[in-house]
Amino acid sequence: MHYISSESCTTIRHRREPLRPQTELIVPRANRVAKHRNKRIPKLRFTTLRDIGWHVSYRDEKTGLPTRHRFNITEKEREPEARILYHGWVLEHLGGNADSTHPTQAKRAPRVKLPPQVLSGSLLEVASGFIEAERGRSREGDEPRRRGSIAAPVFRDRKKAIRDFLEFMNGLHGTGAVGRMRLADLTMEDIEAFNRSIVKRGFSASQVAKRLQLVKSIIDRAGRPEHGGQFLAWNWDSRDVLHGTPPVERILPTRKQLVRMLRGADLRGRTMIWLGIGCGFGARDLAAIRVGQITKDAYDLRRSKTGVERFGERRNASVRRPASSPPRTTMRRRTARLHFCLTN
């Protein structure tokens, strides 16, 4: 079935068998129904960002703005409870549940009033000082990379990891506990429980190690004079360590596959492949390279990330060619094509 629109009416033709005649129906403009009129039901989703947890994202019919409905459940293992609340929200979203018999949100835990001031030398004070120290050595914008500095995204990730640790301690010992706990109150069981929690969330081994390293940095900073020269009463290395998920093994292409890729690619594609194989360039490096950085006499391939100064003059080294290498005429042609692609 397809539509043929006009100013006064729309003609709908039904496609049937070739031997049967086609029938035409005339539908007035007021009775037309678009294909997108069916109401889409938002899906139940889960995220760990900003402690959102289980939620539904949809567009408000009155304002037309994107809206998010939270079910006040941040634990992924509580999915059955979240689905019950989701079905109640779908009923309300479709016009039902007028008497609110089906709840759409879980009840929040009652908030406990925090003490008027944070104790001196508490975990919260030490962590806040560590965050400010990390902020002071972070780079902004196109600032040159100095020794001991970190990029702005790295600082944001570390700040988020420290806040996650403080929230875990509050959930373990009660609201506002980090403002009262000192380093002597931090036990080995607390660190091991935090280790198990981040492993259970599915972080990789490197991410788990980074978060535990930040906790160790907070412990080391508590030994400063302004925090009372605190130190642990137990050995950090004697704790039980759990590692995250192992890295996924990358399957590199074989020589036969590379030959097929080079034969099937054009000059630009072959140039990108050879730069990746010979220079170790990734997608970001290939996007940053500019015309003129490789010439017949010199090259300039400095990378901003590693700071390796790879530039100088090109030299023709006399190396004995293996028996399986192509003739010199073929190598000269390939070198000329590569230079033409990089300089144009």
Tokens describing residue 166 = 């403080």
> Does 248 fall in a domain?
no
Is 278 domain-assigned? yes
**Residue 263 placed within a domain:** yes
Full domain range(s) for residue 25: 2-37
Same domain for 217 and 134? yes
Q: What is the mean pLDDT of the chain?
A: 77
Look at residues 206, 213, 176 and name the one whose alpha carbon lies nearest to residue 191.
213
> Within a domain: residue 108?
no
Report if residue 14 sits inside a domain: yes
Would you say residue 3 has pLDDT above 50? no
32 and 73: one domain?
A: no
Residue whose token pair is 């906790």: 215
For residue 100, is pLDDT > 60?
Answer: yes
Same domain for 150 and 214?
yes
68 domain residue, yes or no: yes
Domain identity same for 22 and 53 = no
The answer to whether the CB of 138 falls within 8 A of the CB of 230 is no
* Residue 278 DSSP SS3: helix
Q: How many domains does the chain have?
A: 4
- CA 186, CA 217: separation in Å to the nearest integer? 14
pLDDT digits 0-9 by tens, 316-343: 443 344 444 444 454 455 555 555 445 4
* Per-residue model confidence (pLDDT) at position 281: 75
Strand-pair partners of 3: 12
247 in a structural domain? no
Rounded to whole angstroms, how far apart are CA atoms 41 and 39? 6
Residues 132 and 220 in one domain: yes
Considering 238, 266, 299, which residue would you say is the last residue of a domain? Answer: 238
Pair 198, 141 in one domain? yes
- Cα(85)–Cα(81) distance, rounded to whole angstroms? 7
Q: Is the pLDDT of residue 5 over 50?
A: no
Same domain membership, residue 142 and residue 223: yes
User: Residue 124: its pLDDT value, please?
Assistant: 92
Q: Taking the model in full, what pTM does it have?
A: 0.50
Q: Is residue 9 predicted with pLDDT exceeding 50? A: no
Q: What does the block give as tokens for 12?
A: 């709908």
**Can you give the length of the chain in residues?**
344
pLDDT of residue 90: 85
* Residue 297 vs residue 254, higher pLDDT: 254
Task: Tell whether 114 is covered by a domain.
Answer: no
Task: Identify whether residues 129 and 206 lie together within a single domain.
Answer: yes
Measured CA to CA, the distance from residue 180 to residue 124 in angstroms comes to 8
Q: Does 182 lie in the same domain as 142?
A: yes
Please write the tens of the pLDDT for every residue from 152-174.
889 999 999 999 999 999 999 98
253 has a pLDDT exceeding 90: no
pLDDT attached to residue 61: 78
Are 27 and 65 in a shared domain?
no
Same-domain pairing of 226 and 134: yes
Do residue 141 and residue 211 come from a single domain? yes
Q: What is the 3-state secondary structure (H, E, C) of 98-117?
A: CCCCCCCCCCCCCCCCCCCC
Q: Phi and psi of 298, rounded to 5°?
A: -150, 170
